[in-house]
Amino acid sequence: MDVICPPDWRTVPTATSWCSCGRMRRAVGRRQVVELVADHNTHRTTCHHHTNRHPQATTTGRRAAA
């Protein structure tokens, strides 16, 4: 997950979301970036690539960092 939010409000923020499973999306514009972040977080919780990757993390209640 790579979010670029320039301090300069005139610059359009962009974000790139990618996953180990090969999923990749790009967002341009503040609203799309916000939606992409939420979508990315949702995907992280459902993607088998992550839920199977660290089985011990889920049992201990730890959450993988974005």
| Residues at the contact surface with Zn ion, assessed by CB under 5 A | 19, 21, 23, 47, 49
Shortest CB 63 distance to Zn ion, Å: 15
| H helices present in 1-66, as ranges | 30-46, 48-51, 55-59
Asked whether 36 and 30 are in contact (CB, 8 A), the reply is no
Cβ distance to Zn ion smaller for residue 25 or 30:
25
Shortest CB 35 distance to Zn ion, Å: 17
- What is the spatial distance between Cα 14 and Cα 5, in angstroms, rounded to a whole number? 7
Cβ distance to Zn ion smaller for residue 23 or 62:
23
Shortest CB 17 distance to Zn ion, Å: 10
- What is the spatial distance between Cα 63 and Cα 6, in angstroms, rounded to a whole number? 28
